[in-house]
Amino acid sequence: MKNIAESALNVRGQTQYIDDLPEPAGCLQAAVRLSDSAHGRIIAIKTDKALALDPSVQVITGKDVPGVNQIGFNKPDEPLLPEHEWEYWGQPVALVLAKNRETARAAAKLVEIEGEELPVVTDPREAARNSDFILPSRTIQCGDTEEAFKHCAYVIEGRVESGGQEHVYLETQGAMAEVREGGKVFVISSTQGPSGVQRAIAQSLGLPMNMVEVEARRLGGAFGGKEDQAATWASLAALGAWISKKPVKLYLNRHEDMRATGKRHPYSSDFKIGAAQDGTILAFEADYYQNSGSTCDLSPAILARTVLHATGAYKIPNVRVTGYMCKTNLPSFTAFRGFGAPQAFFVIESAIDALSQASGIPVVEIQKKNLYREGDSTYFGMEMERVRAHEAFDRLLEKTQWHSLQAEISDFNHKSRTVKKGAAIIPVCFGISFTKLPMNQAGALVHVYVDGSVLVSTGAIEMGQQVSRKIATVVSETLGVPLENIRVERTTTLTVANTVPTAASTGSDLNGMAARIACLEIKKRLAGKAGELLGASPEVVRFENGMIFKNDEKTELSWKDLIVKANEARIDLSAHGFYATPDLFYDMKAERGKPFAYHVYGAAAVVATVDTMRGTYDLESVSIVHDIGHSLDISVDRGQIEGALAQGLGWSLLEDLRFGTDGKPMSDTLSTYKVPDISFMPRTMDIEFLPEIENPATPFNSKAVGEPPLQYGIAGYFAILNALRAANPAGKTFYSIPLTPEKAAGFLDGAEV
């Protein structure tokens, strides 16, 4: 990344996040008083001791909220500060302001919450037994599974557990707010969704949205954790500024962030799979018990992606899948890279593994036999186009010399007593679009200045994934000017309104297309002026690398000269572009439609070793074949795949998110929660891209890259499981993410896991 300026700033530690920014004069520091148990009724909030600590201390509670004390929009179940009841361990109950951060945090500890403890539920299946759901269940089905199972040679049932995952973004949740002239509220927020934060602040303060400006600068990571949940901390900072009449900064430390914020949804699932004698899958059923946590948050959209990816990369004629959003007394689980799809992929791959164990048919044969093909329709009625599942899978088999590799592993395991090897493949078919259809839109504002430089504003948030670079590349290619002429501005609700979060792998797709549309409008105007200056039709004018061409012949007219002439002629050099993904539709009642603009395909093979004496394992290699379309930046895309793989492997094998039965977080520090590091990653990583393919819904036939590769980490789970089986063929198979060394030891000992 040495040729990317913003990456150089990161490497040198010079990137400014919210806590690095200069503070306005008189800025107060904020801290939050978090609840000390998972569920209780508020009797009184006593502030005397906190207020006595220092004259600068102010304590704000729910009764002080001037507008609607509610920031939940999918369902009004999330008060900014609870007035009657707290619902999870670590819920903000009071906001404390003081002259400095140390005083604010000390005062927050002195706020006393008098309450009555209430029953605590942490298990989604227990919540389901109590019929305690966030929203009604959702079922998608096709064919007749009950009848199909009667005609199957193999019918296998099983249970699958997948744990949560902490985001561990570099920059914790934070915001800085101030009330400006005329009562306007300005907030800098570490958020993926400025318009959502703007709406939450406006509602809680009782203001129209045009009185609230939210700015999002470059974030220090997010991974979904700042899509919906940033609204809480930005709204609290704005509330503090509104009441105190002074600027306020709220910035969580790592312990507070890990304790108070949501994570990837844990799931507990049941499956039933049926197949013919040759391994053709004829029927599949699954029930997904999503641990939604205490409030709605984004659980409905996440569950939607789960049930829309239930069969993974496979065509299955008879399907019935049901998802339940189970309310528990844990922090509200939220968006995380993959957004419900990894949980679905793990269930179908576990079902195929169980089928292989029962039938004796190798997993890879079952996988290959059932992959989607061109013209297939999904179980929710979407016709599949430009299908590359077999192309990716077959290339991976060839690339890894799979059958020879399996023979080598078998020979190694035969000779080695204490170290065993295993390998596994996972194919991926990942739908790209927001599952909530109205969110598939974006706007952009492009200015060309009289010196020829270009400024671009979109709703896309830069958080390390280089979406700004990709948008700049789109603008460069569209206008035909060098990349160094273009600057992508930080996102603010003043320049682009009603933005959707930068999420669902759509940041470059939606915002890039909106920017391209704006550029094409400007280019059309400029082509007319260039044609006039060159005595040619605008249709034969072309822009390339800062020069103007006529009939493919380079002219003396440069981009900068043309801009000067256009400005003198009073031609508008600004344009707003708007893009809405075409042809999307979905009937929620019938559960049929086309919810995705396209799919991303790929396949990965992981080889792993297990030391059966020490109970440790090592990831030896990973080979990936990935469908990237026409890459806007190959180095960025490669980095995204490597990062997604790391998170997928971490979720599958390492990251053990724990809560006690009383709801208390047990893994709320980086000493009790392990994340992948360089030594954890496979020693060799080989990534190959499939040839380019048409993809009209995106800029220049590119394809989304952020989320699909995370699923590749699941292959690591099955590679380890296969190595464990080589060590103890009689071990009882389990499907439980993460596959920690403790679980591996249990398998080796023949214990129930």
Domains of the chain: 27-119+167-260 (3.30.365.10), 267-435+589-748 (3.30.365.10), 441-580 (3.30.365.10)
Q: pTM for this one? A: 0.97
Q: Which amino acid is at 5?
A: A
**Mean pLDDT over residues 385-390, rounded?**
98
Provide the token pair at 529: 């002026």
At 3, is the pLDDT very low, low, confident or very high (cuts 50, 70, 90)?
low
For 235-260, what is each residue's pLDDT tens digit?
999 999 999 999 999 999 999 999 99
Cα-trace Rg, the chain: 27
Catalytic-residue membership of 553: no
Average pLDDT, the chain: 96
What pLDDT band is residue 718 in, cutting at 50, 70 and 90?
very high
Reported as a single tens digit per residue, the pLDDT across 282-321 is 999 999 999 999 999 999 999 999 999 999 999 999 999 9
* Active-site choice (87, 227, 591, 707): 707
Taking only the tens place, the pLDDT of each residue in 109-119 is 999 999 999 99
**pLDDT surpassing 80 at residue 9:** no
Estimate the share of the chain in helix, then strand, then coil, as percent rounded to the nearest 5. Answer: 35, 25, 40
Determine which helix (DSSP H) or strand (DSSP E) holds 487, and give its type and residue range. Answer: strand 486-488
Judged against a pLDDT cut of 80, whether residue 447 lies above it is answered with yes
Q: What is the pLDDT of residue 6?
A: 66
72-103: pLDDT as tens digits: 999 999 999 999 999 999 999 999 999 999 99
**DSSP sequence for 665-690:** BS--STTTS----TTTS-SEEEEEEP
pLDDT of residue 1: 47
**How far apart, in Å, do the first and last CA atoms of the chain sit?**
43
Coil/strand/helix, residue 520: helix
Closest CA to 216 of 434, 445, 32, 468: 468
| pLDDT at site 15 | 86
Give 5's pLDDT tier (boundaries 50, 70, 90).
Answer: low
Q: How far is CA 189 from the centre of its chain?
A: 18
Alpha helices in 38-100 (DSSP H): 48-53
Q: What are phi and psi of 453, to 5 degrees?
A: -75, 155
Alpha carbon distance 623, 608 (integer Å): 12
> pLDDT value at position 363?
98
Q: Provide mean pLDDT across the span 478-493.
A: 96
Give the Cβ contact number of residue 404 at 10 Å.
Answer: 9
Point out which residues pair with 539 in neighbouring strands: none
